Amino acid sequence: MNQLSESAATASGHKVCRYDGRKILLDQEGFLVDPSAWSEGVAVEMAREQGLEGLDEAHWVIIRFLRDYYFAHGKAPLSRDLKNGTGFSLLEIERLFPGGLKEGARRLAGLPNPRGCM
Amino acid sequence: MIYLDNAATSYPKPAECLRRALELYLKMGGSPGRGSYDLAVAAHERVNGIRRRLCRFFGGDDRYHLCFANNATDALNTLILGLVEAGSHVVSSRLEHNSVLRPLHHLQQQGLIFFDLVPFTERGFIEPGEVAKAIRPDTKLVVLTHASNVLGTIQPVEELAAVCRSRGVPLVVDASQSAGAVSIDIKNWGVQGLAFTGHKSLLGPTGIGGLLLSPDLNPKPTRFGGTGVDSRSPYHTSEYPNRLEAGTINLFGILALDATLDLLEQTHTESYAREMLLLKKLRDGLGSLPRIRMYAVQDLDNHLPLLTCTVDGIRSEDVGAILDGDFGIAVRAGLQCAPFVHHDLGTIDKGAVRFSLGPFTSEPDIDAAITAMTAIAR
């Protein structure tokens, strides 16, 4: 279990977790608060928590595209950009990651939590 | 792209109507009610003619007051804030959109009002008896949706109005989803206040909406400023429509509604019937898929052409993204700004996907939606 004790919750409601040997801040849904705190080791450990033992090349193609796009454009890719940029359909990505597109791919890539209409 | 998010805003817009409105706006220009030169007077008269037309469209007569607003949320804020007093009790429902829920919660948080939310049935309707039970001696207002933006169910407004009337409490109806889609008859329903938006089933642009008041309802103004009349007075006028319209109104939006009414008055009954047939096809198509659960579509009588569903094991936002990215279908995923509906449906954590049809939805659009959902739910 990587998550630290309840006492590690911050005043803003964030959780402090230990991934890849470092303390990292997560929001209430488990998304990295700071995308630059991400590392491949963080992604691997988060994946393991979701029941995914090891990330294969397809996972890394998607994670790297998400991160490259985010840091190049300052925002997450639109659906069609994600599809065109990775060569995977969104349905394929949904099925590759146990948490699906948002809680799987996007979260493992360390992108901020999208605050849509939820 | 296949657009199935007409409950958020109708799209495409009827281009010819908007072009006509724009041409008129470019010619007319002047500020309605502000100036004695011909251009301003003509704009003022034109706007008042459109007020009367909209009033009649919603079943009001010459004694009713129609005031313009930016949208339904704006109109509902004007109505709710203008009708309650310190210590008032308000009755509303768990079907409501945040445009009603948030004003009520903020007023309660400020210690000004108390409110109760009545439940809805499994089929998505508010029972008049529940409203009767919730009304107290200190209830000053009942505010209810005409049609749920999540479930599409059209509420029994006449019966709800009868309950409110018998208890001497005014009923304000949120017609955001229904105005332009189905007939509205404020006077015969016995409803005192109606809030509407122009950009949904009225097919107009965003930024225009309004409210319609029966002659016996007098919300106090909650915004103050220029109206073009009584300029010597430091106080806002009490005369309608300026009483509830502070500042220059959206002339282009109003002209656009006039133009879209030309179309709607000829087509909306036929269009609604056609959209409901397409909705039935969508419901029947999705109904055979094992992982899909639909809400409040057992009976499509008293229903708008929208359908909300979930796919077991997939977040609604992901379903929306897949429909968009892989199939070019735009839908609304999430909570649709109506959190208590989702609490009660059990969909508050993962949300739901809403397909909402409009006058430009075609049968191939529905076939494509069924094909896409079949692939997603496989």
* Closest among B68, B153, B198 to B338, alpha carbons compared: B153
pLDDT score recorded for residue A1: 45
| % of chain A at pLDDT higher than 70 | 89
* Closest among B306, B304, B355 to B327, alpha carbons compared: B355
B9 pLDDT tier (thresholds 50, 70, 90): very high
For residue A117, give how far its alpha carbon lies from the nearest alpha carbon of chain B (Å): 5
pLDDT in tens, A65-116: 999 999 999 999 999 999 999 999 999 999 999 999 999 999 999 999 987 7
Cβ-nearest to A117 among B325, B326, B337: B337
The chain A residue lying nearest B337, using CA atoms, is A117
| Residues of A assigned a catalytic role | 117
Cα angle B165, B170, B174; round to 5 = 115
| % of chain B at pLDDT higher than 90 | 95
| Whole-number Å distance between alpha carbons of B199 and A4 | 49
pLDDT score recorded for residue B29: 74
pLDDT in tens, B123-158: 999 999 999 999 999 999 999 999 999 999 999 999
Q: What is the mean pLDDT of residues B263-267?
A: 94
A4 pLDDT tier (thresholds 50, 70, 90): very low
Q: What is the mean pLDDT of residues B205-213?
A: 98
Which chain B residues touch A78 with a CB distance below 8 Å?
325
Where does residue A5 rank: exposed (0-12), middle (13-18), buried (19+ CB within 10 A)? exposed
Q: What is the mean pLDDT of residues B206-221?
A: 98
Cβ-nearest to B326 among A90, A100, A103: A90
B259 pLDDT tier (thresholds 50, 70, 90): very high
Which chain A residues touch B318 with a CB distance below 8 Å?
90, 94, 100-102
- One-letter-per-residue 3-state SS of chain B: CEECECCCCCCCCCHHHHHHHHHHHHHHCCCCCCCCCHHHHHHHHHHHHHHHHHHHHCCCCCCCEEEEECCHHHHHHHHHHHHCCCCEEEEEECCCCHHHHHHHHHHHHCCCEEEEEECCCCCCCCCHHHHHHHCCCCEEEEEEECECCCCCEECCHHHHHHHHHHCCCCEEEECCCCECCECCCHHHHCCCEEEEECCCCCCCCCCCEEEEECCCCCCCCCCCCCCCCCCCCCCCCCCCCHHHCCCCCCHHHHHHHHHHHHHHHHHHHHHHHHHHHHHHHHHHHHHCCCCEEEECCCCCCCECCEEEEEECCECHHHHHHHHHHHHCEECEEECCCCHHHHHHHCCCCCCEEEEECCCCCCHHHHHHHHHHHHHHHC
Model pTM score: 0.94
Mean pLDDT of chain B: 97
* Closest among B63, B70, B56 to B210, alpha carbons compared: B70
Which chain A residues touch B337 with a CB distance below 8 Å?
117
pLDDT score recorded for residue A34: 94
Would you call B333 and A117 a contact, using CB atoms and an 8 Å cutoff?
yes
Would you call A91 and B375 a contact, using CB atoms and an 8 Å cutoff?
yes
pLDDT score recorded for residue A19: 87
pLDDT score recorded for residue A5: 38
pLDDT in tens, B55-92: 999 999 999 999 999 999 999 999 999 999 999 999 99
Which residues of A fall below an 8 Å CB-CB distance to B? 78-80, 82-83, 89-91, 94, 100-103, 114, 116-118
pLDDT score recorded for residue A2: 54
| Whole-number Å distance between alpha carbons of B45 and B157 | 33
For residue A103, give how far its alpha carbon lies from the nearest alpha carbon of chain B (Å): 9
* Closest among B203, B207, B146, B208 to B176, alpha carbons compared: B146
Structure token digits, residue B354: 């809403």
Q: With 70 as the cut, is the pLDDT of residue B185 above it?
A: yes
Would you call B317 and A83 a contact, using CB atoms and an 8 Å cutoff?
no
pLDDT score recorded for residue B128: 98
pLDDT score recorded for residue A7: 40
Would you call A90 and B322 a contact, using CB atoms and an 8 Å cutoff?
yes
Q: Which position has the higher pLDDT, B231 or A58?
A: A58
Q: At what angle do helices B15-28 and B251-287 cross, to 10 degrees?
A: 170
Best of B316, B318, B319 to substitute, by most chain A Cβ atoms within 10 angstroms, is B318
Which chain B residues touch A80 with a CB distance below 8 Å?
324-325
Would you call B321 and A117 a contact, using CB atoms and an 8 Å cutoff?
no
For residue B236, give how far its alpha carbon lies from the nearest alpha carbon of chain A (Å): 37
Which residues of B fall below an 8 Å CB-CB distance to A? 314-315, 317-318, 321-322, 324-326, 332-337, 351, 375-376
Would you call B335 and A91 a contact, using CB atoms and an 8 Å cutoff?
no
φ, ψ for residue B181, nearest 5 deg: -90, -45
Would you call B351 and A101 a contact, using CB atoms and an 8 Å cutoff?
no
User: For residue B218, what are the contacts with CB-CB under 8 A and spacing of at least 6?
Assistant: none
Q: What is the mean pLDDT of residues B248-266?
A: 97
| Whole-number Å distance between alpha carbons of B370 and B4 | 12
User: For residue A72, what are the contacts with CB-CB under 8 A and spacing of at least 6?
Assistant: none
pLDDT in tens, B283-334: 999 999 999 999 999 999 999 999 999 999 999 999 999 999 999 999 999 9
Which chain B residues touch A90 with a CB distance below 8 Å?
318, 321-322, 324-326
Which chain A residues touch B326 with a CB distance below 8 Å?
79, 83, 89-91
Which chain A residues touch B315 with a CB distance below 8 Å?
100-103
A9 pLDDT tier (thresholds 50, 70, 90): low
Cβ-nearest to B335 among A78, A89, A118: A118
Q: Which position has the higher pLDDT, B358 or A1?
A: B358
This complex has an ipTM of 0.90
Q: Which position has the higher pLDDT, B275 or A13?
A: B275
